[in-house]
Amino acid sequence: MIEPYFKPWVGKDYGRNSQFGVALMILGESHYVEPQTVDSPQLTVEMIGQISRGEWPKRFHTIIYRLFPRRTGSSETVNGDFKSFWDSLLFYNYVQQSVGLGPRIPPGDKLWLESKEPFFTVLSRFKPDCILILGARLWKALSDLKCIEGTSGRTCKVPLNSGRKIISAVITHPSSSRFKYDTETEVASRLLTDAKSEIGNGGLGKLN
């Protein structure tokens, strides 16, 4: 197996005992260089850690948080619930090299291909029950690389060598002007419901 360069963020409560009731993976596309970041293997871990603690507010991650309506209060500010949200999931960026000096820079074909095996290393190690894919460009790349199968509307499955298939869904990229909360929240909610259903039916098996 080829190890990822950027280690994934794995929340301390990630798994079926999390607030989601499933092992949820959120799959982003790539990192880009920012003044606050250092391009190191711990970049994802350090970034999400800072965001979860309210040390680095970013609209992108607040949008992801708001996709899952399970808060008890009305505040959307960074608080204890925001931290527990990120502590309950796994976050991983597919492309294993920073792609440039700002957002909206597409990865080259070589980067997409070279990142395939590290992606499956992460899946085999952490065994998510479901994957929320961020953005149509990443969705298309995964399809072109035959990382996904059985595409139907916004859903698909990621097949593993073990024979296990991880139910997945794509949302419009949170930074896109086409992003609509009503539509994307429904996709995220359905993903969790479908994953729980597959667990109940024995389709996803055990995590260990």
- Averaged pLDDT for residues 6-29: 96
Q: Where is average pLDDT lowest: 119-123, 182-186, 200-204?
A: 200-204
- Averaged pLDDT for residues 135-152: 94
Q: Where are the domains of the chain?
A: 9-200
Q: Is residue 70 predicted with pLDDT exceeding 70?
A: no
pLDDT of residue 74: 43
Question: What DSSP string runs through the chain?
Answer: -PPPSSPPEE-TT-STTSTTSS-EEEEE------TT---STTHHHHHHHHHHTTSS--HHHHHHHHTS---SSS--SS-HHHHHHHHTEEEEESSSS---SSTTPPPPHHHHHHTHHHHHHHHHHH--SEEEEE-HHHHHHHHHTT--EEEETTEEEEE-TTS-EEEEEEE--TTSTT--HHHHHHHHHHHHHHHHHHHHTTSS----
What is 9-200's CATH number?
3.40.470.10
